[in-house]
Each structure stands twice: as structure tokens, then as C-alpha cells.
């Protein structure tokens, strides 16, 4: 931990640095490759929508002799040979079918009860019409649009509109990757999935705002100096918040990974699986995008401004980026840093006044 803290201090004061913004073409290429893969999976495989979105019927029962083959045979005997049968937690069977009427529903429930030697009342039946599923899809889309509009307004007021655009690009990047992973692995999309998506949007936005706040601090008054370009100041902000972003992400991802592995894998909780996968993939994508997508896009947008281009010319004429502490960093913070010696700087001790004898 001490070494990590020392490393973070070096990044914060500019004594160590990684050129994230300058290598944005590499990060764009990586993101582009990932997006191509997930979009292709989404196009060829499509989403495995749950009955809440496409409508249908679901039957669940608990039995010590739970078996996928037995349940599939019972559904076929009731006229539903194409039913989707899954085993949950080792002792619970779930059977899903398309839209059916009440008579067929009773027939399937009776067939399942007879196959597993349980009472018909122990078979839980859920019927969802296609109209209700369409309403759920429409409300989820409306919620997403409202969220994105609020994000644009908030970031435009608190920062500026170019930061809002960069943040939205990162959010869409995270959304597409998460949805594409769902298509690739074939997980069922349920209302819990939508909740997970909205949650990771907030998480991704939080990480991006932390970085942008530091960018705003480092670039205050940047147009009137010739020490650092906007890209250099933005890259410094990324380095200064890098350790914090990694620590925050690890703390958030580890519990979600536990839910995904233990809750969904070992305990067989289907709802936890849908929620945990969206959170797990979204958090990783959000951390990546806040570092490798949002800030590089912001720097690219800002460098197109005439004022920032003029700053870049002055910096080039001066001989390049300054390695000194950023504008706004207190002198005392630099003077008392244990890493000042690595830059060759010397700190003169304060002279004490002589006492009169």
C-alpha cells in the first residue's frame, strides 16, 4: 500500500506520467475492435429477450427430482415441444413458452405436476401478454433517453458542452459493449438487466466526472500561458486520478464478481445473474472509457479551438511541455514532496533569525 501511495504521489505531482491522451489512436482502435465484435454478435445472434419483453408464459416448480429432460417431455406432451427449459439451483425447474391461452396454460401446469409428482397448485404460472412486454421496452427506452438528456444538461452547465459530448460518447460506448456481451453469451434480458444498465451508466458517469473535474482545475487559465497544452493538462489530470479510479473500480467490481460467481453460478439465482453480468461488464467498460475514451475525445475536441491551437504553438516555440507541477498546485505541496529530489530541484531551508544576546 505504501508503494501504491508513493506511485500515486509521483503521478499527481508529474514526476511520473503515462501518455494516455497522446496515444488516443491506439485506444480508439482497441475500442473500435471491441465494438465491431459485440455489434456483430448483436446482429447475428440478437438479444435473448425474456418473457417480460416479448410476452409468453413461465412455469416454475420445485422438486427433489428436478430434471430438464423430464420437464421438456412434460411440456411436449402438453403441445409445447419448443419450450425453453432451464434448471435453477439444482432443485427448481423453469419452463418458458410463447404466448398461450388459459386452457393451454392449465394443461402444461397439470402435465408438469404429474411428471414431478407434485400438486398442481405448487406450479407457479406467470402469463405475460405481448402488449405488456412492449410497454416495458418503451418505458426502458424512455428512461434511457431522459437520463442521457439530463446528463447533457448537467455537464453543460457544470463544465461545458464539449465535456458533455465526450461523456455521452463514453456512455454510449459502455452501453453498446454491455448489450453486445449479453448477445454474445446469450444471457436472458430481463427487467433486472435494464436496472443494471441504468446503474452502470451512473457509475461510468461518476468516474468520468471525477476526471473532468481535475481537467477543469488543470486547464483554468490555460489560454494565457505557454507551459502546457490542453492535451498535456488533460493527460496530467488522468494521471492524477488514475490510482483513485483503479481503487474505486476494484472495490466496486469485486463484490459484483462475487454475486456473479456465487449468487448466479453456485446458488443458481437467475435474477442475480442478469443483474450481476450487466454490472460487471458495465463497470469494467466504464472504467476503461473514463480513461481511454472520454478524456482523449475531450482533448481532441478542445484542441480544435483556435485558442488552444495558439497555446500549442507557444508551447512548441518554448521547447515543449513543462515537467513542472501544474498551475494551481500549491508551492508548499511541491516543496514538501519526498519526490522533489528526483527532478533535481533543491529546497532551501528557511533561515532562522538570530537571537540577540
Asked, for residue 1, whether it belongs to a domain, the answer is no
**In the numeric block, which cell numbers belong to residue 126?**
406467470
**Among the listed ranges 1-5, 41-45, 59-63, 189-193, which one has the minimum average pLDDT value?**
1-5
Tracing cell 455489434 back to the chain, one arrives at: 39
Q: What is the pLDDT of residue 337?
A: 37
Phi (first) and psi of residue 127, to 5 degrees: -110, 125
Do 81 and 202 fall into the same domain? no
Co-location of 78 and 213 in the same domain: no
- When pLDDT is averaged across residues 171-192 and rounded to a whole number, the result is 87
Check residue 341 and give its pLDDT.
Answer: 36
* Domain extent for 111: 56-128
* Residue 338 placed within a domain: no
Residue 267 — pLDDT band, cuts 50, 70, 90? low
Closest CA to 198 of 143, 269, 126, 134: 143
Residue that is last in its domain, among 112, 128, 144: 128
Q: How far is 57 from 67, CA to CA, in rounded Å?
A: 19
Are 180 and 208 members of one domain? yes
CA distance 74 to 93: 12
Mean pLDDT of the chain: 80
Q: Average pLDDT for residues 139-153, to the nearest whole number? A: 84
In a domain? residue 333: no
- My answer on whether 73 and 169 are in the same domain is no
Do 85 and 195 lie in a common domain? no
Residues 31 and 120 in one domain: no
Residues 192 and 116 in one domain: no
The answer to whether position 202 is within a domain reads yes
Q: Look at residue 138 in the predicted model and tell me its pLDDT.
A: 80
Which pLDDT does position 351 carry in this prediction? 52
pLDDT-derived band at 269, boundaries 50, 70, 90:
low
**pLDDT of residue 295 exceeding 90:** yes
Number of domains in the chain: 2
Average pLDDT over residues 167-174: 92
Domain-embedded: residue 294: yes
E-assigned strands of 201-248? none
Q: How confident is the model at residue 187 (pLDDT cuts 50, 70, 90)?
A: confident
Going through 129-286 in order, the beta strands assigned E by DSSP cover: 188-189
Whether the pLDDT of residue 332 is over 50: the answer is no
In this prediction, residues 261-266 reach a mean pLDDT of: 66
What digits encode the pLDDT tens for the residues 93-111?
888 888 888 888 889 999 9
Within 10 Å of residue 280's Cβ, how many Cβ atoms?
21
Q: Is the pLDDT of residue 270 over 60?
A: no
Strands 92-97 and 188-189 come out as: unpaired
- Please name the residues in contact with 322: beta carbons below 8 A apart, sequence gap of 6 or more: 227, 228
Is 335 a domain residue? no
Q: Based on the domain organization, do 79 and 107 belong to the same domain?
A: yes
**Is residue 240 located within the same domain as residue 111?**
no
> What backbone phi and psi angles, to 5 degrees, belong to 125?
-115, 135
Domain co-membership, 38 together with 165: yes
Q: Are strands 48-49 and 188-189 parallel, antiparallel or unpaired?
A: parallel
CB 214 within 8 A of CB 243: no
In this prediction, residue 24 carries a pLDDT of 93
Contact 264, 276 (CB under 8 A): yes
| pLDDT given at position 63 | 83
Residue 339 in this model has a pLDDT that exceeds 90: no
> Can you give the length of the chain in residues?
357
- CA distances for 57 relative to 102, 124, 153, angstroms: 10, 10, 41
Amino acid at each position: 500500500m505504501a508503494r501504491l501511495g508513493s506511485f500515486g504521489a509521483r503521478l499527481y505531482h508529474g514526476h511520473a506520467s503515462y501518455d494516455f491522451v497522446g496515444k488516443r489512436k491506439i485506444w480508439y482502435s482497441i475500442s473500435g475492435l471491441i465494438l465491431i465484435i459485440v455489434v456483430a454478435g448483436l446482429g447475428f445472434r440478437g438479444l435473448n429477450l425474456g418473457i417480460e419483453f416479448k410476452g409468453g408464459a413461465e412455469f416454475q416448480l420445485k422438486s427433489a427430482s428436478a430434471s430438464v429432460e423430464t420437464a421438456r417431455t412434460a411440456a411436449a406432451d402438453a403441445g409445447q415441444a419448443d419450450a425453453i427449459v432451464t434448471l435453477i439451483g439444482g432443485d427448481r425447474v423453469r419452463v418458458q413458452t410463447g404466448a398461450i391461452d388459459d386452457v393451454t396454460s392449465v394443461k402444461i401446469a397439470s402435465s408438469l405436476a404429474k411428471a414431478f409428482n407434485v400438486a398442481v397448485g405448487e406450479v407457479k404460472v406467470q402469463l405475460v401478454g405481448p402488449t405488456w412486454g412492449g410497454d416495458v421496452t418503451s418505458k426502458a427506452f424512455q428512461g434511457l433517453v431522459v437520463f442521457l438528456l439530463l446528463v447533457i444538461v448537467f455537464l453543460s452547465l457544470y463544465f461545458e458542452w464539449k465535456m458533455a459530448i465526450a461523456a455521452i460518447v463514453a456512455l454510449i460506448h459502455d452501453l453498446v459493449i454491455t448489450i453486445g456481451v449479453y448477445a454474445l453469451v446469450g444471457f436472458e434480458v430481463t427487467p433486472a438487466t435494464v436496472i443494471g444498465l441504468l446503474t452502470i451508466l451512473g457509475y461510468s458517469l461518476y468516474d468520468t466526472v471525477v476526471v473532468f473535474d481535475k481537467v477543469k482545475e488543470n486547464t483554468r487559465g490555460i489560454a494565457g500561458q505557454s507551459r502546457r497544452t490542453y492535451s498535456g493538462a488533460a493527460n496530467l489530470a488522468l494521471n492524477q486520478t488514475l490510482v483513485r479510479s483503479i481503487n474505486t473500480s476494484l472495490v466496486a467490481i469485486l463484490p459484483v464478481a462475487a454475486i456473479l460467481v456465487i449468487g448466479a453460478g453456485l446458488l443458481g439465482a437467475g435474477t442475480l445473474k442478469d443483474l450481476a453480468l450487466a454490472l460487471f461488464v458495465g463497470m469494467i467498460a466504464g472504467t476503461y472509457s473514463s480513461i481511454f475514451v472520454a478524456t482523449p475525445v475531450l482533448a481532441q475536441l478542445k484542441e480544435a479551438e483556435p485558442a488552444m491551437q495558439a497555446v500549442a504553438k507557444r508551447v512548441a516555440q518554448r521547447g515543449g511541455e513543462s515537467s513542472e507541477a501544474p498551475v494551481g498546485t500549491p508551492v508548499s505541496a511541491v516543496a514538501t514532496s519526498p519526490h522533489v529530489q528526483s527532478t533535481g530541484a533543491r529546497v532551501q531551508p528557511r533561515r532562522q533569525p538570530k537571537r540577540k544576546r
